[in-house]
A and B are shown apart, each in its own frame.
Chain A
Amino acid sequence: MSESLSSATQPAEEVTTARAIEHRAGRIGLDLLDRWAGPLLLVAMIVAFTIASPGVFLTSSNLLAVVNNQTITAVVALGLLFPLAAGVFDISIGGVLTLSVITSAWTFQQTAGSMPVPLAILITLAVGATAGLVNALLVVRLSIDPFIVTLGSGSIFLGVSQLVANGQVVSRDIPTAFTDLGRGELFGIPNPIVLVVVLALIVFYVLEMTPLGRMFYATGFGREQSRLAGVPTNRILVLAFVISGFCASLAGLVYTSRIGTGQPDVGAQYLLPSYAAAFLGSTMIKPGRFNVPGQLVGLAILAIGINGLQLQGIPFWVISTFQGGALILAVVLTKLRKLSVRADG
């Protein structure tokens, strides 16, 4: 009985294998397109703008300025990858960034510039990490929706910043030793860019090349399932918020040291592009996952798109529209991709 069964299934199996191979060949082509469509788009944009704005767009000064302008967003966005990978939103990053800008400027102002720079940096980073810890404890201990927690706490961090700054720009006694960090160069490359490169490498390493990174993704794809499989999901969530707060405050330091003043309302503008870059990034290189290379390409698409359009003399309101449009487009692409995976099964 079992023999006749197995011989009966033999040809059918061959057919399915043949189909599977054919099918897989088709899929590999699709997979490649799926992964590299984003980078291709970036290249296409660069080519298009080079032709459209000859001698202006593709110059080292323009490109360096574009990249340098993105460093603050990049630092925030790299930190944001951790909560997103773990499946939670952190929208307090704008508030944390503002709080850090004010904290660093204020510590110098309070001490009439005598505060040692490394100590000021440490204090600021500690404030950012603590803000993340507060978010984490509210989410993990009290099981409150992360979106709501960070929506509220972000507003509180902003309020505290305004209180500390007394509603004004904090700019007295910020030492040049501090602003040199933000304005200086290393081998001809602006320091903030060096920081972004180092940070990107570290984040890439943690997410892609450590078990910890795998546990972030597992928590994001199925928190309860991962917990039952033995992943310490609560610890992962705490870590995600702390890292995100830490990076937001690192971005705040970049801001203060470049601009040289602390404005109590700077953070909000970095929230949307960070999310737009992260979600765009999750549609490429490793589709379906928030990943560092994808995010950097996403950032570049946003920055170059806006820069190229501005060089064409396109008005100011384009920036917000472009970023918002990119965010929604990215989410739509993700949705379509999920549908196609399901249809495949």
Chain B
Amino acid sequence: MKRTFALTITLPGKHLLTFEARNVVLPSKGGYIGFMAGRQPLLATMEPGLISLVTVEDRYMLFGTTGGFAEMLDNQASLLCDSLIEVKDLDLSEENVPTGKLFNRESINMSETQKREYVKQLMIRRLHKTSAVGTSQKTAQKTE
């Protein structure tokens, strides 16, 4: 059985990104859902949150979205996003790392700007956490 699937991320009039992915995790209504190649057909809504995927070259990629829809059919996944935030759009300096609780995730009460801000903060927090974990693991290896 094929271990990868075609993943397309589209935005109205702007982006069309295509990947050959091993897995993808996206923010659904009830929480984050992930799927891999050969999944049964799926149609889901996306809430403001993070889209993370691993490509066929084992590259981890992170995006943010303010909402949209995801469809998986015949080993092809399509993510129709309202807007897409990429890592290059973020200011990753230390002072921008959010502390404390973020907005409530109930997207219905948020304006588009609030959604974007919320997703950006989520992304910054995730990126800092993963880089901190990477650094601490390297330090632990050195001391051993």
- Whether chains A and B associate is no
- A interface list, Cβ under 8 A from B: none
